[in-house]
Chain A
């Protein structure tokens, strides 16, 4: 494993804090796009060398997570003519603090897990857990449908980092599964947002309350 892996993971972790701390949706989307590009680079570095298969995975990760999905989200943003996440359930400062707590919890939890020799001292597992927790935090504390999709993307990026620890053991099927899932899930969700916009004239998921007890 390359020595550049950990610094890149630190960047990924920093990108977690951007959507937590900002109300500007464009910035939040761009943060996940950058995370996607970083994950692509990490795929190659973790595999250690430019073998065709990891290179292909890396290229698709960059194309899908780094370009296509952010493009889709930006488009949805433009169609809905919204810019900011207003009035989240938890304030931005509090979200940042919770994000820092999540990072600490991830590091502490990783200490309890026995790691394979090649992953000892590496940031892969704690970064994965912290990113998953950040995704959860976004999903739970934001109102806008778009920010929830961003939260879901962050969550999935966290899952993907965990997948990187298994690059030898995991058959390609699972790798493809990750990409397929991400592509189609967001695609469908994106379409739904388009409909949400037209049908409800709002992208505030808090307005989705016709169905309740």
Chain B
């Protein structure tokens, strides 16, 4: 058995084990256990020799960036889980824990899959695994959010499948026996039929873009992130979006190698700026701080797309941004979850003075805000600045100006809500919710914020190398 297969199977087999585990408390510890095993396996896999050519599962340069990222985020979030579930003793967590592990397995599969059909199956199963995660609170609001998420997700995934078929047909036209293995497609790319390739790319952009939450297909995002437990929000905004973005990158890469890069890049730049603009508009005066985080996610997905669309230096910036986004979304959602629990509300009507009521979570939320909006010395500053330099270097001053303006709009809009949450005095009388900051609830977010801070001043050589290799891989297929 290859290590890539083990990476998928370990969490996948632990999922039924979690479902069958008798005690709720022990079950909550099964998830961090599986996550730790997964993370160790990832580290082993990264050291291993390259897999044989033609393998369906392999860790390519993109996977070398995304896999440790997603596995690490899941591990940190899983450490938050026991403390979170201890605060919800009367809610059954059987399905929830099993779905979390299945979710990890499918995220892994989507990253290591070198077959575009298998990639689709992974993201499709991922959508299904995340439905019980969203519906954990089992109230009408979370039901509404789950319904919208499932329906839009299902439409997106159906369009992605149609796009995959179109791509397969383009391959068939190229004269060879059609194959959906990326290595074969990259060799055939220059001969792919152009009309089929273009149509496939648009369908895939809309399909996987829906999963990523790009505007205008983002409408499920505020509902889902707003109603999901903070832990799930972190995994969706930091993990699932990464996987969907990676899927898009694989198709972008095909277009680039086929000599149709310009076509794909223009679409990316336009959709990237649109996502940032939509996020900026809806973030202003947002009264619900978890919904605000969803728009922040839309914004950052836009930045990722913009970076790839600009190409060159900005491609490296976008991949660095991917790392930053995962870390920061973890901080923000976990801190927001603590504040939510402390106040029993996520609306600015009830929440203020978080820095006084839950000082550690309040400070982390504030820190996460500064990180996400690209304030130095956090990592986002570095990656956004790199994308900006890329825009100038490729002779797109208009795009650079729009990018800066939208970053500013988002900073102001998000700042209004975040500062209202953090500052001021808690409104009296507030019933005690029984929640207090503790190492189990604050530690994971603090670790992520620390990592994001380190990335802002020092990108470790191995990460820099991995990002450079991935950027080259995206643009040239090698």
Is the pair B155, A211 in contact by a Cβ cutoff of 8 Å? no
Q: Which of A15-23, A34-42, A159-167 has 4 or more CB atoms under 8 Å from chain B?
A: A159-167
Known contacts A189-B151, A199-B140, A208-B148; is-contact A181 B157 (Cβ 8 Å): yes
Residue ID in chain B nearest A200 by CB atoms = B140
Identity of the chain A residue whose Cβ is nearest the Cβ of B153 in the assembled complex: A185
Task: Give Cα A168–Cα B172 distance, bound, in whole angstroms.
Answer: 10
User: With A113-B196, A189-B154 in contact, is A171–B143 under 8 Å at CB?
Assistant: no
Whether A51 is near chain B, meaning CB under 8 Å from some CB there, is no
Q: In the complex, what residue of chain A is closest to B151 when comparing beta carbons? A: A148
Flag whether B161 is at the interface (Cβ < 8 A). yes
Say what secondary structure dominates the interface of chain B: helix
Are A114 and B193 within 8 A (Cβ)? yes
B151 touches A152 (CB 8 A): yes
Question: Does A132 touch B at the CB level, under 8 Å?
Answer: yes
**Interface SS majority for chain A:** helix
Chain A 134-171, CB-CB to B under 8 Å as 1, else 0, gives: 00000100000100100010011011001101101111
A-binding segment of B220-228, B246-254, B430-438: B220-228
B141 lies within 8 A of A173 (CB): no
Do A211 and B128 touch across chains, with their CB atoms under 8 A apart?
no
- Judge whether A82 is part of the interface by a CB distance below 8 angstroms: no
Chain B residues in 8 Å Cβ range of A139: 151, 155
Chain A's closest residue to B145 (CB) is A211
Report B383-416 CB contacts with A as 1/0, cut-off 8 Å: 0000000000000000000000000000000000
A112 within 8 A of B: yes
Residue numbers in B under 8 Å from A213 (CB-CB): 222, 282
B147:A166 contact, CB within 8 angstroms: no
Min distance, Cβ A189 to any Cβ of chain B, angstroms: 6
Q: A181 touching B131 by the CB < 8 A rule?
A: no
Is there contact, CB below 8 Å, between A192 and B147?
yes
Q: B159 CB to closest chain A CB, in angstroms?
A: 8
Within 8 A of B (CB), among A198-213: 199-200, 205, 208, 210-211, 213
* Across-interface contacts of B158 in A (CB, < 8 A): 152, 155-156, 159, 181
Contacts of A166 in B (CB 8 A): 165, 168-169, 172, 178
Q: Are B141 and A210 in contact (CB under 8 A)?
A: yes
Contact A173 B118 (CB under 8 A): yes
Chain A-chain B contacts (Cβ-Cβ < 8 Å), number: 116
Are A116 and B172 interface neighbours, CB within 8 A? yes
B428 on the interface (CB 8 Å rule)? no
B144 at the interface (CB under 8 A from A): yes
Is the beta-carbon distance between B117 and A155 smaller than 8 angstroms?
no
Q: Is the CB of A152 within 8 A of B155?
A: yes
Instruction: Kindly provide the distance from the CB of A110 to the nearest chain B CB, expressed in whole angstroms.
Output: 10
Which B residues touch A155, using CB under 8 A? 155, 158
B contact residues around A177 at 8 Å (CB): 117, 120-121, 124, 161
Q: Given the complex of chains A and B, what is the CA–CA distance between A213 and B287 in angstroms?
A: 9
How many angstroms between the C-alpha atoms of A169 and B115 in the bound complex? 13
The CA-CA distance from A185 to B195 in the complex, in Å, is 31
B282 → A minimal CB distance (Å): 6
Is B173 an interface residue when CB atoms closer than 8 A count as contact? yes
B154 touches A185 (CB 8 A): yes
**Interface presence of B199 (CB below 8 A):** yes
**Measured CA separation A156–B150 after assembly (Å):** 15
Measured between C-beta atoms, what is the minimum distance from B423 to chain A in Å? 24
Kindly list chain A residues whose C-beta atoms are within 8 Å of the C-beta of B161. 159, 177-178, 181
Q: List residues of chain A with CB within 8 A of the CB of B193.
A: 114
- Taking CB atoms and an 8 Å cut-off, the chain B residues in 267-281 that contact chain A are none
CB distance from B188 to the nearest CB of A (A): 12
- Which residue, of B148, B169, B173, B180, has the highest number of chain A Cβ atoms within 10 A? B169
**Chain B 66-92 interface mask (CB, 8 Å, partner A; 1/0):** 000000000000000000000000000
Q: Which of A114, A189, A195, A210 contacts B173 (CB 8 A)?
A: A114
Contact between chains at B147 and A170 (CB < 8 Å): no
B146 at the interface (CB under 8 A from A): yes
Residue of A nearest to B179 (CB): A169
Nearest to B56 among chain A residues (CB) is: A173
Nearest-neighbour CB distance to chain B for A156, whole angstroms, equals 6
A10 interface residue, CB < 8 Å from B?
Answer: no
Q: Which of B141, B147, B169, B195 contacts A196 (CB 8 A)?
A: B147
Say whether A108 faces chain B, with CB atoms less than 8 Å apart: no
Nearest A residue to B224, CB-CB: A211
A208 touches B155 (CB 8 A): no
A191, B411: Cα distance in complex, Å: 41
Contact B144 A210 (CB under 8 A): yes
Q: B195 to A114, Cβ gap below 8 A?
A: yes
Whether B177 sits at the interface, judged by CB under 8 Å, is yes
* Supplied contacts A162-B162, A199-B143, 11 more A-B pairs, CB within 8 Å: A159-B165, A165-B169, A170-B117, A173-B115, A177-B117, A177-B161, A189-B154, A192-B143, A200-B140, A211-B148, A211-B223
Interchain residue pairs A-B with the least CB separation, the first 10: A169-B178, A174-B117, A211-B223, A177-B121, A162-B165, A208-B144, A159-B162, A199-B140, A113-B195, A185-B154
Pull 9 A–B residue pairs with CB atoms less than 8 Å apart, ordered by A. A113-B196, A152-B154, A155-B155, A174-B164, A185-B150, A189-B147, A192-B146, A196-B143, A208-B144
Residues of B within 8 A of A (CB): 115, 117-118, 120-121, 124, 128, 131, 139-141, 143-148, 150-151, 154-155, 157-158, 161-162, 164-166, 168-169, 171-173, 177-180, 193, 195-196, 199, 222-223, 226-227, 282
